[in-house]
Structure 1
């Protein structure tokens, strides 16, 4: 919530009222609420949430929304709906909130979880789940095969209610269409919530077992450790993204002619890689490769990158070193993996006439062949202040014309399929103060060497046999010196 608008406050108040309706039956005299179990579960949930607000632990604690959902689901399995809803309230009100408005977010979270746990407990009881958990008496063992179905049904209800409320508050607070606000919430949450349900069932079974509540902590400890591991992973991933962002911003500041180009090459590289069937882990790395392919320009003197007029042979030799500079810059960044080879070889050509090493065919790493096509495509289709970009169909035709000599035909076909399936949106303005990916008029150009038109992002050393391609930098009066420097 960017701000607690009037509509958002009204919606939060409505959900709070619903939460009160859920918990009030447990507070009535004669309700038979098992207060000992409620107190133990509430205290346990409170104890799990409190460390997140302790200055001693700070942001190193793995406390996030959802970290202790198994505990709430265990409460839904062990208690009547109204009593189970009470368990979520104190911990939610004191838990860590990372964005303002803090009070509104805590109240919202407490009400949301109370309603969600109430719904999960109601569904669990509806499916006869309480009877399947057994008890402490002799012969009252849990009926595990039959206990799984009510637990999964409760977890499904938990997921449905939680994601519905999440999407609704997002729609109200951010003024988004409901379809967009709810888009993808349930598919992303359902699997984890089902796993949380099974963990909660294990806690409930142990709680009802002969060793009592203490044995249920056996489940809580590994769950907490797994939360810590995932939190560490996400922090490391965030650090990776920050490293990439800093390098890209440094390149964009130095070479204002191609600002935003790196982000778009990363996007086009992922488009190609998806069509090739690469797994998600490699998709992330190929995106890094596309984003960082020109990071070596940090080693090229600014006066050369921004020079007005033709480049001397010596200056061209300096610019042709940028792939090697880039490889040296990222050599020590271990998480880049295959991206490092792509940064070094994205100006190689299939016929062996590229640089820096003149590799040919399959000698060129796969990621480098992907980035080469993405780089050339964005160069051709982007618009700068001094000339308009080519239409996507025209750029594809040029790539197909150069396939087999300059580009890998498989990569060109993959790009064509991806564009047909997803289209291409050009949204960044080169040479503006906007960073990569900032919406605005579109930008970029094909790069060519004087007397050497072509789509490649590059300073290719051997002129191709093809005739000049109009619009790729061979347009009279439209070519910028920067087009010859990429």
Structure 2
């Protein structure tokens, strides 16, 4: 069972208690229980289908309930689906209770705001665009409650710093919820029309098409991840000295890209670049990768072919985009002394310059068979010393800022053991040798 901190359990219990209070019906409030049962059953069915296909929650039905019903009755719509839908992780009961309570509070808030603004009266004789005002305000309330509760559980259960818990969470949630809110409003209008609930269900047809398309996209993304994972596992099996190195470089690359303000799609592409940067090792003889002692010049030249091997392997994988250039050029240096083509300065693709810094940083801070990991501070000092000659100063600066903001806690080293970020440097190590590990005997 996954451990849930005691403070997070207390927080969930408080949210559940608040949700139970919201379910108390107000006196003398007319309620269409037929509508409650229909909407609750529809939401439960759509939730089971959506969860099985990993396409998210059917918010239009919940918001339609918020537009049509009093707050306590609208909140009931969420309960069957939230309590019956599968959860991916344990403890299942706690997670189901949390999900049910969160949605109950969000729907209650949306219904309350919508009713206070006279939204249910507008639905009888729709007056557009005025009908959008209470509906839009209700959607904002729904989204606000979800993000406030999500932020709280992130801070308490996942130990996310309070300064970052709610940053951007509301704006990321608002767009999808607004689209669902518009569909829910259309359902509510048709429900109150002479055509009745059957016509309202037609609104879900385009949503089902959208969910199907999203499911296809999700499956395609899963296939991409499986392709990358298979390549990385093959490299890790062949070169046990760098097991876990690819994943850590991917994480460091992502930190740099985010610090540079790149959009999410490009951040993901650069993460792929970091993960796959050493895939060309599959074309290098295993005896060279595992050789003890110094390499001969001929052996080094063979190993230095791995960026070209890697590029040939990933050249036909179209979804990788600029990651392919990073695989080919991540050993180039700003002063032109790198390989395979000796590119200089800005002629080196930006993606490759990001991966080069991430690669060198992890090489210095990871334990290898022939030396211990260096402290993060020492690795940063070495990167800064080599900035402008070997590494792009802009990328080094971005990594330094990201490390200051988030820290660095690699979970796996080359020998498969946890590596503290403050590991001692190997005694007698000449200055500058750490950065050379990124193109040296074991970290090429």
What's the TM-score bracket when you normalise by the shorter of the two chains?
0.7 to 0.9
Change (3 A) 1:178 1:89: farther
Relative to structure 1, the CA distance from residue 68 to residue 474 in structure 2 (aligned partners, 3 Å threshold; closer, same or farther) is closer
Task: Determine helix, strand or coil for the equivalent of 2:319.
Answer: helix
Matches within 5 A, 1:431-442: 431-434=414-417, 440-441=420-421
Distance 1:101 1:309, change over 3 A: closer
Q: 1:366 to 1:3 in 2, by over 3 A?
A: closer
Look up the match of 1:412: 393
- Alignment correspondent of 2:223: 239
Question: Residues of 2 paired with 1:196 and 1:376: CA distance?
Answer: 45
Residues 171, 380 of structure 1: alpha-carbon distance in 2 compared, 3 angstrom cutoff: closer
- 1:199-218 pair list within 5 angstroms: 199-218=183-202
Which of the numbers 144, 149, 153 marks the counterpart of 1:160? 144
How do 1:327-476 residues align onto structure 2 when only pairs under 5 Å count? 327-349=311-333, 354-359=338-343, 364-379=348-363, 384=368, 386=371, 389=374, 390-400=378-388, 402=389, 411-420=392-401, 422-423=403-404, 425-428=407-410, 430-434=413-417, 440-441=420-421, 470-473=430-433
Give the 3 Å change call, closer, same or farther, for CA 373–31 of structure 1 in structure 2.
Answer: closer
The alignment's C-alpha RMSD in Å is 3.8
Deviations 1:322-344 (A, max 9, x none): 11221233234332122122212
Query: Do the aligned partners of 2:289 and 2:442 also contact (CA within 8 Å) in 1?
Result: no
* Residues in 2 aligned to 1:326 and 1:268: alpha-carbon distance in whole angstroms: 20
The match for 2:76 is 86
Q: Distance in 2 between matches of 1:13 and 1:367?
A: 46
Per-residue deviation, residues 360-382 of structure 1 (Å, max 9, x unmatched):
56654443343334434544566
Q: Report SS of the residue matched to 1:153.
A: helix
Partner Cα distance (1:72, 1:474) in 2: 57
Secondary structure in structure 2 of the residue aligned to 1:483: coil
- Superposition map of 1:308-319 within 5 A: 308-319=292-303
Change (3 A) 1:284 1:63: closer
Map residues 133-152 of structure 1 onto 2, 5 A cutoff: 133=123, 135=124, 140=125, 142-152=126-136
Segment of structure 1 superposing worse, 242-251 or 378-387: 378-387
User: Of the candidates 91, 97, 100, which is equivalent to residue 87 of structure 2?
Assistant: 97
Structure-2 separation of matches of 1:250 and 1:445: 30
1:380–1:445: 8 Å Cα contact kept in structure 2? no
Q: Give the SS at the match of 1:144.
A: coil
Whichever of the two has the greater Rg, that structure is 1
Q: Which residue of 1 aligns with 2:106?
A: 116
Task: Quote the Cα distance in structure 2 between the aligned partners of 1:485 and 1:90.
Answer: 54
Call closer, same or farther: CA 1:370–1:21 in 2, change over 3 Å.
closer
Relative distance call for 1:413 and 1:104 in structure 2 (3 A) is closer
Note the residue ranges of structure 1 that are not aligned, 5 or more in a row: 54-58, 447-468
Determine helix, strand or coil for the equivalent of 1:145. Answer: coil
Residues 150-197 of structure 1: CA deviation (Å, up to 9, x unaligned):
12221222123233344445666x384783795444343233323322
Match of 1:99, SS state, is coil
Report the Cα distance in structure 2 between the residues aligned to 1:394 and 1:8, rounded to whole angstroms.
Answer: 41
Q: CA–CA distance in 1 between the matches of 2:343 and 2:361?
A: 21
Q: Is the 8 A contact 2:259 2:402 kept in 1?
A: no
Deviations 1:284-319 (A, max 9, x none): 212211221111112222221121222223322321
Taking a change above 3 Å as real, the CA distance of residues 339 and 144 of structure 1, as seen in their structure-2 partners, is same
**Residue 213 to residue 335, structure 1, CA distance change in 2 (3 Å):** same
Structure 1 residue 474: deviation in Å? 9.1
Cα displacement string for residues 11-39 of structure 1 (whole angstroms, at most 9, x for unaligned residues): 6555444444333427x7x6421223223
> Could you tell me how far apart the structure 2 residues matched to 1:365 and 1:69 are?
43
Partner of 2:268: 284
* 1:21 alignment partner in structure 2: 21
Normalized per residue, the structure richer in helix is 2
Structure 1 position 479, deviation (Å): 8.9
Match of 2:308 among 302, 321, 324: 324
How far apart, in 1, do the equivalents of 2:437 and 2:79 lie? Answer: 65
The question of whether the paired residues in 1 share the 8 Å contact of 2:54 and 2:215 is answered with: yes
Q: State the partner residue of 1:449.
A: none
| Residue number in structure 2 paired with 1:43 | 41
Instruction: Establish whether residue 125 from structure 1 lines up as the match of residue 109 from structure 2.
Output: no
Give 1:245 deviation, angstroms: 3.4
Unaligned runs of 5+ in 2: none
Q: Do the aligned partners of 1:377 and 1:396 also contact (CA within 8 Å) in 2?
A: no
Give, in angstroms, the shift of residue 350 of structure 1. 5.1
Q: Give per-residue Cα distances to partners, 1:113-142, cap 9 Å, x unaligned.
A: 223212211111112222222x2xxxx3x1
Describe the shift of the 1:439–1:156 C-alpha distance in structure 2 as closer, same or farther (beyond 3 A).
farther
Deviates more, 1:314-323 or 1:249-258: 249-258
Q: Which residue of 1 aligns with 2:290?
A: 306
